[in-house]
Homo-oligomer: A and B are copies of this chain.
Amino acid sequence: MQGLRGADVEITLIDRRNFHLFQPLTYQVATGALSPGEIAYPLRALFKARSDVRILQANVDGIDPDNRTVELAAIDDIKPAPVNYDTLVVAAGSAYSYFGHEEWREIAAEVKSLESALAVRSRVLAAFERAELSDDPTIGAAELTFVVVGAGPTGVEMAGQIAELARDTLRHDFRTIDTAQARILLVEATDQVLASFPLSLSRSAVRALERLGVTVLLDHTVTGINHTEVTLRAADGTEARVASRTVIWAAGVTASPLAGQLGELAGDEVDRAGRLTVEPNLTLRGHPEILALGDMVRVRGGDGQAVTYPGVAPVAIQQGRYAARVIRDRLQGHSTRPFHYHDKGNVATIGRRAAVVDLGYLRLSGTLAWLVWLVIHLWYLIGFQNRLLVVIRWQISFVTRGRGARLITTPR
């Protein structure tokens, strides 16, 4: 959108939501460190001054490539007119996959949308409240056991934040329970946390997690989840049951169903994660007027092999800019060189003054890495007001070890 500023085009932005969510900080909403309004920005405010941009808040029902229209879902008795396009850019993202266990979805909470983050916040905080209310030490211990599944960036951040919540923020808040006794298990199927990082940084992340009191279980898979316990299988096949009432899901993702629809159009199969493969210039094979990007696609390389980029914000941002360039180049009759991802590095945070940064030529962990993480995330956060509010919240949290937004707002 930003890349098309001033181009001779009319843009219609269709989104289910009326706001842009800064996903890398969603986990801070889930643990009460930040408020929703601080990491989300109204789309209409963002494009207020752009008279070339029309915004429609709607769900997409389907794409009709023959008529070049997008069908929007009806809302009550309102049936929106189909939206015509000359060029269609699809960036519909992905959702968590429960590996075929759909029944886990309602038990194991995820941190993806703003609503899901708020639901996690309520569930994590309510577990402490229930433990304080309970007379039964067995129930109390289960309430104070948190299982985080998947040790990618989100899983690591959530485990670290819950540990800080229990050991720092809530430490003097309760009279009956000792929140420092909370157990936080981070379960990872592979032999490494933060698999996209070099092993040395991954190991310092494990040490930082353990310092915070997180139990890291590598080479463990989840084989069962119900409302009161989680079943784990170790690499040697032995199973263990953990009494826990709060499970956070941060394992695999699956692409938006629109990837499947576009895949059929191109006569291509989607991969196991539901991702569509697009041409080197992000267009759909046989449909150069359709571009797709973000973590719903893989990109065909020069050798014809599909390249899977990590499902992180920098990839999506660069692909969005690239799509704008393709459109501009076409208007001028030029062709565009294939998409090339410029990997600027990788950063993940574990907790207070604990993060890992991999810039290729430079690897950092600890306080310095954490400061790098802070600066990068503030830089990319949209909106001056949000930046200011987040800086203030972070400063106060750093000094007081408090979390001002720890509200239980979802009705039980």
Contact = CB atoms under 8 A, between A and B. Distances in A.
Nearest to A56: B133
B114 A409 contact: yes
B19 A408 contact: yes
Interface in A379-402: 383, 385-386, 388-389, 392-393, 396, 402
Interface stretch (A166-174, A181-189, A212-220): A166-174
Contacts of A125: 18
Contacts of A175: 51, 54-55
A296 interface: no
A407 B77 CA distance: 23
Nearest to A34: B37
A49 B396 CA distance: 18
A315 interface: no
A133 B75 contact: yes
Contacts of A324: none
Interface in A162-201: 170, 172-176
Nearest to A411: B115
A130 B75 contact: yes
The CB with the most chain B CB atoms within 10 A, among A44, A130, A393, A410, is that of A44
Given A19-B407, A404-B383, A407-B36, A78 B173 contact: no
A95 interface: no
Given A49-B172, A129-B18, A385 B404 contact: yes
A176 B42 CA distance: 18
B406 A42 contact: yes
Contact of A396 (B42, B56, B172, B385): B385
A42 B121 CA distance: 13
A134 interface: yes
A89 interface: no
A35 interface: yes
B80 A135 contact: yes
12 contacts: A37-B404, A37-B405, A54-B175, A54-B176, A55-B175, A56-B133, A72-B133, A78-B130, A80-B135, A118-B409, A385-B396, A392-B392
* For the complex of A and B, 8 pairs with smallest distance between CB atoms: A35-B37, A37-B405, A44-B173, A57-B129, A80-B133, A54-B175, A35-B35, A18-B408
